[in-house]
């Protein structure tokens, strides 16, 4: 198994909170289940994916003030809360080359509040896994198609094997320019590059070959990313190895999204039961 390559140093804070600032935040809107559900329903994710042949570009993902507060939330995450998510390419271990920071948990911030909104984008999915991401200089992801299996541990002790079904990346950096890198490259769509746009999300069905170009800009690129999962084995992983042998790209990745070893807890709903989501390495 290839060892993860840890980025040098820890990310610093991008913005400090002013003393005496009011405690009320636009992110409190995220606690209004009916309002968030109605807003997400406007995006009609599944219809957009069908119309876009498996790829959807979703502008105005959240109300403007909420998006601004969401960016401030990610900028305020302390360096110690970011986990190094990195590996070098290793076909034997099914690793793809990638490097960035990510986290599901940042005590003292509203990150948990923000991440809870994403499952409402597709209520038909009972299982989800979302995290915040920070891309600094040279951070990137090599071509891959997002196929992976995720075991889900239910509150009754049962383990449900799930597959990634739909991927979502929500961009939260203002005034990002193409020359800054960090673009989403839709390899399956002919290699078109999508420059991250503030308060915009890209979603796609899995598998879909794509990559993230290396960041070369003067500041971090923030986002929220993750997957909607379906129970069962939705596709074989072995096909990717044949693609790799044919020169079409590396095999499907089997890397831990958080860049840490062990359990990654996340509460999600299956009916009215609360579950704990686990992501485990499959190499």
Q: By C-alpha distance, which of 251, 238, 242, 211 is closest to 90?
A: 251
* Total of domains in the chain: 1
Q: By C-alpha distance, which of 35, 27, 38 is closest to 65?
A: 27
Residues β-bridged to residue 210: 144
Cα(235)–Cα(164) distance, integer angstroms: 9
- Structural domain contains residue 22: no
- Structural domain contains residue 57: yes
Expressed as residue numbers, the domain containing 113 is 32-277
Q: By C-alpha distance, which of 142, 143, 138, 134 is closest to 215?
A: 138
- Structural domain contains residue 255: yes
Angle at 47 between CA 191 and CA 170, to 5 degrees: 55
- Structural domain contains residue 16: no
Q: Which tokens is 204 given?
A: 């796609």
pLDDT, block means (10 residues), the chain with 283 residues: 36 45 78 97 98 98 98 94 72 63 87 96 95 91 90 84 97 96 95 96 97 92 96 80 41 35 32 32 27
- Structural domain contains residue 24: no
- Structural domain contains residue 43: yes
CATH code of residue 55: 2.60.120.620
Cα(228)–Cα(10) distance, integer angstroms: 29
Cα(70)–Cα(88) distance, integer angstroms: 31
Cα(78)–Cα(174) distance, integer angstroms: 20
Entry pTM: 0.77
- Structural domain contains residue 241: yes
Cα(225)–Cα(162) distance, integer angstroms: 18
Q: How many other C-beta atoms are found inside a 10 Å radius of the C-beta of residue 140?
A: 18
- What's the pLDDT at 247? 39
Question: What burial class does residue 246 get, using C-beta atoms within 10 Å of its C-beta: 0-12 exposed, 13-18 middle, 19+ buried?
Answer: exposed
Cis peptide before 207 (omega within 30 of 0): yes
Distance between terminal CA atoms of the chain?
A: 7
- Structural domain contains residue 17: no
- What's the pLDDT at 242? 43
């Amino acid at each position: 198994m290839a060892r993860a390559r840890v980025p040098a140093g820890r990310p610093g804070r991008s913005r400090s909170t002013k003393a005496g600032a009011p405690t009320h935040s636009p992110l409190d809107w995220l606690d209004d289940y009916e309002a968030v559900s109605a807003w997400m329903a406007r995006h009609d994710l599944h219809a957009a994916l069908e119309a876009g042949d498996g790829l959807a570009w979703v502008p105005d993902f959240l109300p403007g003030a909420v998006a601004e507060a969401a960016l401030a939330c990610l900028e305020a995450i302390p360096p110690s809360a970011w986990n190094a998510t990195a590996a070098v390419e290793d076909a034997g271990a099914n690793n793809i080359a990638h490097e960035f920071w990510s986290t599901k948990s940042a005590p003292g911030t509203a990150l948990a509040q923000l991440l809870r909104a994403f499952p409402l984008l597709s209520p038909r999915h009972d299982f989800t896994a979302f995290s915040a991401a920070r891309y600094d200089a040279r951070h990137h992801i090599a071509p891959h198609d997002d196929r992976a299996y995720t075991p889900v541990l239910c509150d009754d002790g049962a383990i449900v094997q799930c597959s990634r079904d739909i991927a979502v990346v929500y961009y939260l950096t203002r005034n990002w320019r193409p020359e800054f890198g960090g673009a989403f490259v839709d390899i399956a769509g002919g290699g078109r590059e999508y420059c991250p746009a503030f308060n915009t999300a890209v979603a796609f069905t899995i598998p879909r070959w794509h990559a993230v170009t290396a960041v070369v800009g003067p500041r971090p690129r923030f986002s929220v990313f993750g997957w909607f999962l379906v129970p069962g084995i939705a596709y074989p992983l072995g096909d990717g190895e044949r693609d790799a042998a044919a020169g079409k790209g590396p095999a499907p990745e089997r890397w831990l999204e958080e860049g840490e070893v062990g359990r990654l807890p996340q509460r999600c709903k299956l009916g009215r039961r609360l579950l704990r989501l686990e992501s485990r390495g499959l190499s």
